[in-house]
Structure 1
Amino acid sequence: MSRDWRGLAAAQDGILARRQLRELGISRHRVASQVMAGRWVELTPRVVATVTGTLTWEQRAWAGVLHAGGTALVGGLTATEKHGLSGWHRDEITIVVDDELSFEPVDGVRFFRTRRDLARMRQVRGGLPLCRVEPAALLWAAHERSARSGQGLLAAVVQQRLTTASDLLDELERQRPLRRARMFRTALEDIRGGAQSMAELDVGRMCRRAGLPLPRRQVKRRDSVGRSRYTDCEWPLPDGRVLVLEVDGGFHMDVEHWEDDLARQRRLASADRVVVRCTARELRDEPQTVVRDLRALGLR
């Protein structure tokens, strides 16, 4: 058997398309003999693995993109994870394909069909053809069942410095028409203004609906022991004081974090700085209660 396949297999994590093997002069009979001998594994009717054992995440991505062929790209959360996103892992592999392609389904792989220009969205990392992080995030957010999860992903890719809100806004224009575009534009403007989480986006939404001024976000402050801190949201009050709202997520309920947050609140507070807290759940489910309390503290 020709040995030319080994270099290609090494570049593709041991995964090869049958069409690639044919181009290397390796017949289907020789492929079948390798599979029968247990040295190779048929993953799909179009793809074989030149290694045995459980496939890695990247090998599964290679299998999906080679199975689809053509201009197919790794997309969705699979692509954003490959770009470096953490905390959003999904076992299912997403492959973005041209709407005209025809092929068999593959277990564990979601083929997302689109008429958009895949060549414009293409980026190669480690040899793997990927969707660039901006279109990957926006297309996933637009078609994810939960709009909140979609907005949360946009905040996450910016917060983890994989892209910027401005670049996402530019890509949003290129993707027109796109489902939820108006919602995403508002969220991205908030993110560009400093919002780094879904809860901070909820603060912006709450303020717009209640007619309150939008806060300054992620303001750098030095606390009473000289440590640099970044506050979630701040508003100047008419009497010259500053109102600070800190938003607690679920992990803040752990005893260790809860005590750290109490100490943080004490050290940020001063004669001219009022520090209050709310939970992300309150912002989501009871924003009117938070609005009432902020107004009682002097916010107009």
Structure 2
Amino acid sequence: MPPIPEPVLKLANGQRGLVARRQLGAARVTKSSVLAQLTAGRWMERSSVVVSTFTGELTREQRAWLGVLHAGPPAIVGGYTALEIHGLKNWHRDDVTILVDDEEHLDPLDGIDWFRTRRPLDLWHSKKHELPMARVEPAALVCAAYEPSWRTAQGLLAAVVQQRLTTPADLREQMERMKPLCRAPQFRVLLTDFEGGAQSVAEVDVKRMCLDYGLPLPNRQKRRKDRAGKWRYTDCEWDLPDGRVLVLEIDGAFHMEVEHWEDDIQRQRGLTTPGRIIVRGTAREVRDEPFQLAADLRALGLGALCA
């Protein structure tokens, strides 16, 4: 059995052990040599056009390589998959999303979702990774534009900003280069809220609640030092007429986990003072029952600020 050329092994290693048959052909590795490796059980066929130089289960990153190699240029990893690789937390999706040219006709592959688009994929490439992958901004905007739930779309854009993967300005700039884009008018309003200091969809909902029920807009992400001397940021604050401060902390779904819940309880105790009232609500309440939350805030003195 002829040895596999070193450049081919180096190429496969850079692609996490996967290589397309077209790449092998370009490196003058014959079909008979490939067949010999497969027959000997050293290599494994992963699709009609991709083999691996190892056997066994694929990791998530290897499955992403499988997708882009199977489709060929200009295919890139996109969607929630790209965002997760960029570092987005708490938005995992099982299937790997591969963005492909609209003219491609690809056989289905287990665990891979082909997303067809006429967009210029070669202009979306991230330069930070070996894996052909979309940058954060186009990946997030395409996800949000085609996400069935508007609520989820808002939450995704808030998350990429809150987790510092991008900025509202960079999202806005990318959006203008992607005309036409579904939901673009709504995205512009949302990005304006983020630029104004909102860090989450819940904070956007608080602003809407205040406008709808005649409450003053809060100070957001106020920097406070707790009794242990550690700097903290509160979600929303109002200065009351009697000199006290009313603080509203919004709990998302992840706050329901025991570890986060205990951390938040300790954080609240450390920030509470005789002149600072801290109340908590959930993101669901702000979204679905703003009238009740507004009434509770008024009862604590906030209504006195409204003429």
TM-score norm. by structure 1 comes to 0.90
Q: Give 1:19's match in structure 2, choosing from 18, 22, 25.
A: 22
Return closer, same or farther for 1:48/1:232 CA change in 2, 3 Å cut-off.
Answer: same
Which one-letter code corresponds to 1:144 in the other structure? E
- Alpha-carbon contact 1:137-1:154 (below 8 Å) kept: yes
What residue in structure 2 maps to residue 54 of structure 1?
Answer: 57
Q: Does structure 1 residue 113 correspond to structure 2 residue 116?
A: yes
Q: Give 1:141's match in structure 2, choosing from 144, 161, 174.
A: 144
What residue in structure 2 maps to residue 214 of structure 1?
Answer: 217
Give deviations 1:104-123, integer Å, cap 9, x for gaps: 22121111111112122111
Shift of 1:242: 3.2
Q: Give 1:278's match in structure 2, choosing from 246, 258, 281.
A: 281
Shift of 1:258: 4.8
Give deviations 1:242-283, integer Å, cap 9, x for gaps: 332111234544566556544544543445433222122211
- Alpha-carbon contact 2:285-2:293 (below 8 Å) kept: yes
What residue in structure 1 maps to residue 104 of structure 2?
Answer: 101
Q: Give 2:198's match in structure 1, choosing from 192, 195, 198.
A: 195
In structure 2, what is the Cα distance between the partners aligned to 1:58 and 1:255? 31
Q: Give 2:77's match in structure 1, choosing from 61, 68, 74.
A: 74
In structure 1, what is the Cα distance between the partners aligned to 2:15 and 2:153? 31
- Alpha-carbon contact 1:193-1:217 (below 8 Å) kept: no
> Which consecutive residues of structure 2, in runs of 5 or more, have no partner in the other structure?
none
Which one-letter code corresponds to 1:295 in the other structure? R
Q: Give 1:90's match in structure 2, choosing from 90, 93, 101.
A: 93
TM-score norm. by structure 2 comes to 0.88
User: Which secondary structure state, in structure 2, belongs to the residue aligned with residue 130 of structure 1?
Assistant: coil
In structure 2, what is the Cα distance between the partners aligned to 1:10 and 1:254? 40
Count of paired positions: 300
In structure 2, what is the Cα distance between the partners aligned to 1:207 and 1:28? 68
Q: Does structure 1 residue 298 correspond to structure 2 residue 302?
A: yes
In structure 2, what is the Cα distance between the partners aligned to 1:24 and 1:211? 70
- Alpha-carbon contact 1:41-1:49 (below 8 Å) kept: yes
- Alpha-carbon contact 1:194-1:216 (below 8 Å) kept: no
Return closer, same or farther for 1:126/1:241 CA change in 2, 3 Å cut-off.
Answer: same
Which one-letter code corresponds to 2:24 in the other structure? L
Shift of 1:69: 0.7
Return closer, same or farther for 1:251/1:16 CA change in 2, 3 Å cut-off.
Answer: closer
User: Which secondary structure state, in structure 2, belongs to the residue aligned with residue 97 of structure 1?
Assistant: strand
What residue in structure 1 maps to residue 291 of structure 2?
Answer: 288
Q: Does structure 1 residue 172 correspond to structure 2 residue 166?
A: no
What residue in structure 2 maps to residue 152 of structure 1?
Answer: 155
In structure 1, what is the Cα distance between the partners aligned to 2:262 and 2:28? 67
Which one-letter code corresponds to 1:40 in the other structure? W
Shift of 1:230: 0.8
- Alpha-carbon contact 1:152-1:197 (below 8 Å) kept: yes
| RMSD, matched Cα | 2.3
Shift of 1:286: 0.9
The worse-fitting range, judged by mean Cα deviation, of 197-206 and 141-150 is 197-206
